[in-house]
Amino acid sequence: MKLSDAIDQFLQHLELEKNRSLHTIESYAHYLNRFAGWAEDQGVVNLNQVTEEQILRFRQFLNRIEIKGGETLSKSTQNYHLIALRSWLKFLNRKGYEAIPADRIDLPKPDARQIQFLEHEELMRLLNQPKAASLKGKRDMAILYVLFSTGLRVSEIASLNREQVNLERGEFAVIGKGRKERIVFLSEEAIRFIQEYLAARRDEDSALFIRMKDPVPEAEQELDRTLRLSDRSIERIVKAHAKTAGITKTVTPHTLRHSFATDLLMNGANIRDVQAMLGHSSLNTTQIYTHVTNQHLKDVHAAFHGRKKEVESEVSSKKQEVDQNEENIESEILPN
């Protein structure tokens, strides 16, 4: 069997039997097609020609490949390729095709994951950056507040439709990774900004968030069926407002998702509740935020632990100072 045919079968399996999202399937296709392209350059075109040694050489290729700016692929990105390969081989092994066992591929230790989130002052500057006088400003304000209020992924907010969002209840269902449904909640500010934005719109497009553009010529309307903002457009909107707000960090929609999670945990939310609101399948995924909040708890501990002893010490010191002052006064007034 050719590599390309084996990959196509696996992608069909993900879509039809595993019910994976289009985004997930595209990611698997990207990683597996990169392997197939590299393998074909090595003269390997059939599945039974793939060996453990070639997998090892492909790992070396991933480790050395240069992307823009001369940087190399991160360990996590390298791992995504290997995870895709393992899933593909597991599928082929179950189907009885001649392929190396999936468990022969070991995953290297990933880079320590850094969680980028906004401090309260940075968050306020970003949220208040758009100028709500214009329709574009109202839209951008609503986007920022919805992202922080719900912790939605960029693909999830881009796919929202008007009728999907219940503004009276301040909540709505969203389909996340793995086609899993969860309920997310809107803050009062998010509800207000969405209402103001929708009240100012004059189009009939079903998408909640649309791009601002001139009317489409009638001859092109059939080709331009929706004004829906793309994932990339929303990323550009967030980055542009962060830059204008003077925030030096790289800010993306996912930064607001991280900020949403850390804000909940720092204010006492249960980690399992945060897991549910983020739509994480595993609690281990949500645990990454505890590394951030642990520092917050450490600061709280340092500020308040042992305060009783400190206060007692301060009171004792003040008492000694008062007693000494009284003795000094007495020595000045009383005769020798």
Give the integer Cα–Cα distance in Å for 265 and 259.
Answer: 10
Q: What is the pLDDT of residue 318?
A: 53
Q: Is the dihedral of CA 37, 40, 45, 49 positive or negative?
A: negative
> Could you give the CA distance from residue 88 to residue 106 in angstroms, rounded to a whole number?
14
pLDDT score for 295: 62
Domains of the chain, first to last:
3-104 (1.10.150.130), 120-215+225-298 (1.10.443.10)
Measured at the CA of 237, the angle between CA 234 and CA 238, to 5 degrees, comes to: 90
Active-site position among 20, 81, 138, 153: 153
Helices (H), 96-187: 120-127, 135-150, 154-158
239: alpha, beta or left, given left = phi > 0 and alpha = psi -120 to 50? alpha
Residue 182 bridge partners (DSSP): 174
pLDDT above 80 (res 219): no
Mapping DSSP to helix (H, G, I), strand (E, B) and coil, where does residue 30 land?
Answer: helix
Q: Give 293's pLDDT tier (boundaries 50, 70, 90).
A: low
**280 labelled catalytic:** yes
* Average pLDDT estimate for 208-237: 73
Considering only CA atoms, give the Rg of the chain: 28
Q: What is the pLDDT of residue 8?
A: 95
- As a three-state string, the secondary structure of 167-180 is CCCCEEEEECHHHC
CA 223 – CA 215 distance, rounded (Å) = 13
Q: Which two tokens stand for residue 181?
A: 């449904």
Q: What is the pTM of this model?
A: 0.66
Q: CA 33, CA 121: separation in Å to the nearest integer?
A: 44
pLDDT in tens, 121-146: 999 999 999 988 899 999 999 999 99
Mean pLDDT lowest for which of 72-86, 171-185, 314-328? 314-328
Query: Is 254 in the active site?
Result: yes
- 257 carries an active-site annotation: yes
Distance of CA 276 to the CA centre of its chain: 15
Tell which residue, 233, 275, 238, has the closest CA to residue 253: 238
Q: How far apart are the first and last CA of the chain?
A: 113
Candidate list 18, 59, 177, 192, residue with the active-site label: 177
- Residue 159 pLDDT grade (very low, low, confident, very high; cuts 50, 70, 90): very high
Distance separating alpha carbons of residues 39 and 36, to the nearest angstrom: 5
Residue 258 annotated in active site? no
pLDDT higher than 70, residue 250: yes
Percent of the chain with pLDDT over 90: 56
Residue type, 231: D
Given this model, what pLDDT does residue 75 score? 81
- Catalytic option among 86, 138, 257, 258: 257
Q: Distance (Å, rounded) from C-alpha 193 to C-alpha 196?
A: 5
Residue 241 annotated to the active site? no
pLDDT at 157 over 50: yes
Residue 336 pLDDT > 50: no
User: Checking DSSP bridges between strand 181-185 and strand 171-175, what pairing results, if any?
Assistant: antiparallel
Rounded to the nearest integer, the mean pLDDT of the chain is 84
pLDDT grade, residue 19 (50/70/90)?
A: confident
What is residue 310's predicted lDDT score, i.e. its pLDDT? 53
pLDDT tens digits along 306-320? 655 554 555 555 555
User: What mean pLDDT do residues 264-286 have?
Assistant: 88
* pLDDT of 216 above 50: no
Q: Is 153 known to be catalytic?
A: yes
Count CB-CB contacts under 10 A for residue 162. 16
Q: Which of 86, 139, 241, 280 is catalytic?
A: 280
Token reading at 24: 């997930």
The per-residue pLDDT for 314 is 55
Residue 294 has pLDDT above 90, yes or no: no
Whether pLDDT at 220 is above 50: no
Mean pLDDT, rounded, for 93-106: 89
Percent of the chain with pLDDT over 70: 80
Return the beta strands (E) in 186-297 as ranges. none
* pLDDT tens for each residue of 32-52: 999 999 999 999 999 989 999
The stretch 91-97 carries a mean pLDDT of: 92
